[in-house]
Every structure is written in C-alpha cells, then in structure tokens.
Chain A
Amino acid sequence: MQYKDYYGILGVARDAKPDDIKKAYRLLARKFHPDVSKEPDAEERFKEAKEAYEVLKDPEKRSAYDQLGAWRPGQEFRPPPDWEQQARDFRFGYGTDAADFSDFFSALFGVRGRRNRAAPGGEFAIRGQDVEAAVRIALADALRGTQASLKIMLPEIDARGTITRAPREVKVRIPKGVTDGERLRVPGKGGRGMGGGPDGDLYLHITFERHPWFRTSGHDVYLEVPITSWEAALGAEVEIPTLEGRAKLKIPAGSRAGQKLRLSGKGLPLPAGRGHGDFYAVLQIATPPKLSERERELFQELAGTSRFNPRGHFGGS
C-alpha cells in the first residue's frame, strides 16, 4: 500500500496547530465536498481530505501517525511489525464510515478488535455501506432500457476483520424511462453488512452521453430544426429525425424563430408504462450563407414590395 502524506493533503506543516488543521480541512471541504462541488475530481479529493482530517484532528491518531516518521507521499508502505501488537483502540467520530478510507488508513487505524467482538451477537449489527456509482448511457438506451456492467469498489471485511476495498463487477439493468441526472437505488447491492446487519444499497447516478441533435429535459426531448424564411412564411412539411426514426413535421404558415412545435407523446418513456414525455421541434430560421444572383433578385423584390415592419412596436418609422 502507499504511504499517505496527511499533512501534505491538507496543506499544513507537520507542527500545525489543531485550529489550523481544522481551518485547512474546512477550506478543502467547501471546495471539494461532493454535495456542493462541481470540480471533476471532487469526490476523490474530498475523501482524501476527510481521511487526513480524521487522523490529524485526533491527538491519539495524529501522534501514532507521526511516530511512523517521514516517508515520501506514495512511497510503498508496510506498517511496522509491532504495530498490531500495540493494542490500540482508536476512537471514531460519530457517523464516520471507515470503509470510505484508504487501505493505508485501515492498516493503521483499522477497526479490527472492535469488529471481532461485535461479530456474532448481532447486537452490534452494522449495516453494509452504501455505494454510489456513475453510469453514462446513450439516449437510445434510455429509450429502450439497457444493461450496464459496473466495476465498483466494495468494502469487504477479511478474516482478520480489516476493511479493504475489493473491485467487484456488478451487472445492473437500467430500466427504460430513466432521465439524465436521475439516481436509481438498487437495494442490497452495496457493501456487505456485518454481524447480521443488512447489506448496503447501490446508488446509480445516471447521465446521458451528449447526442449530436437531441437534448433532453426530464422526459421531454428537444430538437432544433432549421427552416428557411420562406418555409416559415408559407408553411411547409419537412422531414425530421425523432427518437423512433424519421417523421414528417408540419410547419404552419407564419412560424417564428424559437417557436416550439410539439409532437405529443414522442419523448422518452415514463417509468412503469405511464406513457411518454413530449418531443419538441424548436424552429430556427436559416439564411443561405451565399445568395445566387437569382436569389438576391427575389429577396430584393420582396424587400421592395413587403410593407411588413417587425419593429413597429418600437415606435418611430
């Protein structure tokens, strides 16, 4: 396992005062807490900071850590041979999930003795840890449902009672009807419970791959449809892609840019067969980038003939 430089992670000196350590942790928590942060690696960064703080805020754990001496961050590390003999019983803050922490942490401050004592009675049954995993799917998969194969790190307890995280492959079925950003709960597929406690749950965070044409908002699907100014003025029937192949779209005469035409029930399926969201074609008026001689003549004729003034409401002439 790799040595963790807890002082470096928090960005404090080895002789930092408890207050400075708390301050440094709070700063990192504000920046990287996964519930408030948009940083891409927020979760990992926060876990590190939390683990470092868990050790450095507690005088007992901090002094034990300091006794290891100086190592380089990331250096291959083995706990000193006499480490396990020293019967330590480290305290953990309320609600601390030691399983969240690194192997390095578990090796030093692992909850060995305690787990062994707690095991058979059931009185100290501990519920398995909940695990979150991100799943990115294509829009087409949301339409029909799909299977995803996930590699997740699940906390497991080995024979000596040490918590380690082992990769496990889990197959999950993503039901049709999920939306971008939705969270699914898969009960009992998280970490194993201990001492007769129930298994934790697996939470899936679903996101959609970006589609070249379609955007989604909940179960509604949006498609930007470019039309010409004469199609907008005269009306037209154009062919557009939808989730279920191509479809004809009737553009009414006198359409405006930004107008939404609804194809009702052509969006993503709602869960449990409760119908579908809607599909919206959003009109955009496209102008030929280059006019032919004849096109220019026709536009000029229109400009000379039409008395339409779209800016009449501004007043003036």
Chain B
Amino acid sequence: MSLEEIVDSVMAMEDPAELTLSELARLSGLSREALRALVECGLIEPRSNARGGRRFSVRSVRVARRARRLRADFDLNASGLVLALTLLQRIETLEARLREVECQLLR
C-alpha cells in the first residue's frame, strides 16, 4: 500500500461539506428518511453548495453512524434517538468548554 495514496485520502472532520444525502446514507447505514429526520431537528446540518444542493461534512457521518448504533443497540424509537443525540451533543459541547476553561485556570 503506498503511503502517498493514504496521505491524500485522510480527511479531517472539519473538512468542507462534500457528501450528498445518498453518500451519507451509504456511509452511515441510515435510510434517507432517517437522515432527513436528523436534519430536521438540526442534529445534522447540511450546507448548500453553489448549485443549491445540500452537502454534508464528514462530521455528519459521525453523528449519523452514532445514531445508527444507538438506535440498534438500545432499541430506540425516533424521539428517543433525537433526545439521546441531543443530550450527547450537549455533553460534548460542555466537555469542550470545560476543557477550554481548564486550560485557562491554574491547575
């Protein structure tokens, strides 16, 4: 396996939105309907590209994959799933904030 090939293929989660809804469905294992529901509650935020199409970032893949795991492993229904994802995102935001504050506080 050539190393150079890998270099180009590593994609950061921050990368610009580039996946279509179908690609996101394929990568996450969620149906397009399930993904649309996540978009509607703002858990996944697509960006519009120049031609008005919706594009998803690699970060969305992570959210969608997590959604699929939680739904399968906990037998969640749609509203339970949205609640779990919302709370997990909130925990992540708080952890990031905590981290930032810890950096500034002395020990």
Interface residues of A (CB under 8 A from B): 26, 29-30, 33, 35-36, 46, 50, 93-96, 127, 130, 147, 170-175, 177-178, 182-189, 201, 203-204, 215-218, 220, 222, 224, 257-258, 260, 271, 280, 282, 284
Are A95 and B61 interface neighbours, CB within 8 A? Answer: no
In chain B, positions 1-51 with a C-beta closer than 8 Å to chain A are 1, 3, 6-7, 9-15, 26-27, 29
Interface residues of B (CB under 8 A from A): 1, 3, 6-7, 9-15, 26-27, 29, 58, 61-62, 65-66, 68-74, 84, 88, 96, 99-100, 102-107
**21 A-B interface contacts by CB (under 8 A):** A26-B74, A33-B74, A36-B84, A46-B73, A95-B68, A95-B71, A175-B7, A175-B10, A178-B12, A183-B62, A184-B12, A186-B10, A217-B96, A217-B99, A217-B100, A222-B104, A224-B107, A271-B12, A271-B14, A282-B104, A284-B106
Are A258 and B104 interface neighbours, CB within 8 A? Answer: yes
Known contacts: A127-B26, A174-B10. The answer to whether A50 contacts B103 by CB under 8 A is no
Q: With both chains docked as a complex, state the minimum distance between the C-beta of B69 and any C-beta of chain A, in angstroms.
A: 6
Contacts of A173 in B (CB 8 A): 3, 6-7, 10
Contacts of B74 in A (CB 8 A): 26, 29-30, 33
Beyond A182-B13, A185-B10, A186-B9, 12 additional pairs, beta carbon < 8 A:
A29-B73, A33-B69, A50-B73, A175-B12, A177-B12, A186-B10, A187-B11, A215-B102, A217-B99, A217-B103, A218-B96, A220-B100
> Which one, A127, A185, A222, A282, contacts B58 given CB within 8 A?
A185
Are B61 and A185 interface neighbours, CB within 8 A? Answer: yes
